[in-house]
């Protein structure tokens, strides 16, 4: 990319040049030819023509709201840093931003990362495994996966939910009917369900408290 094109990417094009781009497009020239003839990046040519198609003008339209504190280029640079090192801190990103000439607050950096779909989360703890360990575990899993029966049990409330429920309400309306969760004596009761599945398919859904050997026998009989 030429130096002229690099400058044009960061600066607004003169209105006269934008009009020339549209004029060439209307005469039948393609984006690539216009870009080469006027020394303007092809993406810029495309965006100017798209704007002309949508609004019928090449003039700079009034921008709504306060301008962003961080430029698009600055945000992309931060995203690259995070992808290189997901454990980088906001303070370190703030220093990187300052070195690029964009001094921003930590909240601005966090908001910019959120816009790019990146959120701060606690890292999961996992065993330290070498490549040899990973390969051995994968081979073991492939050999055994058709021999395993996965099972679990759960309690289902017969009336309502046992967990907390959140409502949007105004102050002083806590006891309004629409803002409460109805309850009954002794909790309304519950049932226990047990289920399983394997590579061969799903097993029976068993109701009540049954010993594991009995449940396995029932599911084995079903397959036989």
pLDDT tens, residue by residue, 56-115 = 888 887 777 777 788 888 899 999 999 999 999 999 999 998 998 888 899 999 999 998
Does residue 221 have a pLDDT over 70? Answer: no
Task: Give strand ranges (E) for the chain.
Answer: 150-157, 190-198, 201-202, 206-207
Mean per-residue pLDDT for 17-30? 93
- Measured N-to-C along each axis, helices 31-38 and 42-55 cross at an angle, to the nearest 10 degrees, of 120
The greatest distance separating any two alpha carbons of the chain, rounded to the nearest whole angstrom, comes to: 84
216/224 Cα distance (integer angstroms)? 12
pLDDT at 62: 75
9/31 Cα distance (integer angstroms)? 16
Q: Is the dihedral of CA 104, 110, 116, 120 positive or negative?
A: positive
Exposure letters 147-185 (e unless 16+ CB within 10 A, then b): eeeebeeeeeeeeeeeeeeeeeeeeeeeeeeeeeeeeee
pLDDT at 7: 45
Mean per-residue pLDDT for 169-189? 83
CB 75 within 8 A of CB 69: no
- According to DSSP, residue 93 is labeled H
Tens of pLDDT, residue by residue over 43-57, are 999 999 998 998 888
pLDDT range class, residue 224, cuts 50, 70, 90: very low
- According to DSSP, residue 151 is labeled E
Report the Cα 10 to chain-centroid distance in Å: 29
């Amino acid at each position: 990319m030429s130096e002229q094109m690099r400058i044009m990417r960061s600066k607004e094009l003169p209105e006269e040049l934008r009009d020339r781009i549209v004029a060439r497009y209307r005469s039948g020239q393609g984006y690539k030819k216009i870009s080469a003839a006027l020394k303007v990046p092809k993406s810029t040519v495309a965006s100017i023509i798209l704007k002309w198609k949508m609004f019928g003008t090449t003039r700079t339209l009034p921008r709504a709201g306060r301008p962003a504190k961080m430029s698009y280029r600055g945000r992309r640079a931060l995203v690259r840093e995070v992808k290189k090192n997901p454990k980088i801190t906001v303070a370190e990103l703030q220093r990187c931003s300052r070195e690029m000439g964009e001094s921003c607050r930590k909240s601005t950096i966090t908001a910019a990362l959120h816009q790019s779909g990146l959120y701060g989360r606690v890292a999961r703890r996992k065993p330290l495994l070498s490549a040899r360990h990973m390969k051995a575990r994968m081979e073991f899993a492939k050999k055994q996966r058709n021999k395993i029966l996965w099972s679990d049990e759960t309690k289902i409330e017969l009336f309502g939910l046992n967990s907390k429920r959140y409502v949007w309400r105004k102050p002083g309306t806590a006891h309004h009917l629409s803002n409460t969760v109805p309850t009954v004596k002794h909790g309304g009761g519950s049932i226990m369900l047990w289920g399983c599945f394997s590579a061969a398919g799903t097993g029976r859904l068993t109701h009540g408290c049954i010993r594991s050997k009995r449940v396995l026998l029932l599911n084995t009989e079903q397959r036989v």
